[in-house]
Amino acid sequence: MLPRRATALDSAGVPADPPSPTRRPPLEGILVADFSRVLAGPLAAMVLGDLGAEVIKVERPGGDDTRSWGPPWAPDGTSTYYQSVNRNKRSIVLDLTDPGDVELAGRLIERADVLIENFRPGTLERFGLGEEATSAANPRLVSCSLTGFGSGEGAVLPGYDLLIQAVGGLMSVTGQPGGPPTKVGVAVVDVIAGLFATVAILAALAERERSGVGQRAEVSLLGSLLAALVNQASGFLGAGAIPVRMGNRHPSIAPYESFASADGELVVAVGNDRQFSALCRELGCAALATDARFATNAARVEHHAELVAALVPLFVAQPGATLARALNAAGVPCGPVNDVSGAFALASSLGLPSIVEMAEGARQVASPIMLDATPVGYRRTPPALGAGGADLRAWLRGDDRMPGGI
């Protein structure tokens, strides 16, 4: 079964069934100046674009770094990495070493509702586009600065996802016991920071509705990761427990991990004693549920090695698909370790929109945001470098209205 697709777009990149006037996108009329590059900032800008904002992506000559990050490449030769976070945008190339382009950048910021940037702290000030200048020219501006390590003593440090995963503690808890520290398979710190930035921007826009005045938000990659460590960070702060690599185990829940079945890996996520009893019944070992070593979650965590020794031969004796169906039917969370293809197929089978077909055959991951009155939209494919730049330059030089937009 092919993965389910979200609303298709026509050849011009317009929704085939555009929202009615009473179902306008929630951020329609909001202009976002996206001066960011790579992942965290562009992701935040794309989310705002999906919600209806008009996003102008400002790129240096040569373009966003991710335009050259490949393979893999899309059929048209575009980097699929770049495509992942740049839909619903227009692109304009501005060289901030050129006074004329700096003037146009300033005019864009004066007209914008939101500015997103991830330059090293102090960079925009050098071009006369710092917080003091922009807030004076546009008091309603909501600006969001994404940094690696903040704007204080860490301002000079470059912020890359892999580096933050390392120094921020995530790699120390990822990987097999006794094995090397391991990064997560995607740039998860950038994703988390981008989503925190989106929340900050929306909060600042809501406050602007009350006060009429914008404000500056700052989100750091390191701070975002520390916040995302949740229970691991809380265990350290509240109990002095420094977490370690545990493979697919959980430090506080058992069994909450992967097991080899007769034909593949299964994950079991037992979150309470009732689910553990059901697991034991389905595996034909009901007595384990009343064994004092395993009767409560805390006891199971304490006696984890003995628990796993008892469960491993029961899992490996059965086909994974058969066992997963039986456990899920019994209320025990269980599923196979899918590859990415299997993940999209699962979403499709569950009726979740997972792929959006855009203009010229481009396929994108659908937004997970589902608003029943003001749905997200997919108006534009990720733009070619500088596409529409001439119209945007004319608009910034004095045209009253941006062609095709606000």
**DSSP reduced 3-state for 303:** coil
109 and 396 Cβ atoms separated by less than 8 Å: no
- Of the listed 76, 190, 273, 291, which one is catalytic? 190
Q: Tell me the C-alpha distance between 130 and 128, whole Å.
A: 6
214 and 204 Cβ atoms separated by less than 8 Å: yes
Burial 282-292 (b: 16+ CB within 10 A, else e): bbebeebbebe
- Sequence-distant (6+) residues with CB within 8 A of 398 are none
Task: Decide if 190 is catalytic.
Answer: yes
Dihedrals φ, ψ of 338, to 5°? -75, 155
Q: Tell me the C-alpha distance between 47 and 32, whole Å.
A: 11
92, β-bridge pairs: 58
- Sequence-distant (6+) residues with CB within 8 A of 90 are 54, 55, 56, 57, 380, 383, 387, 388, 392, 405
Indicate which residues carry an active-site annotation.
Answer: 190
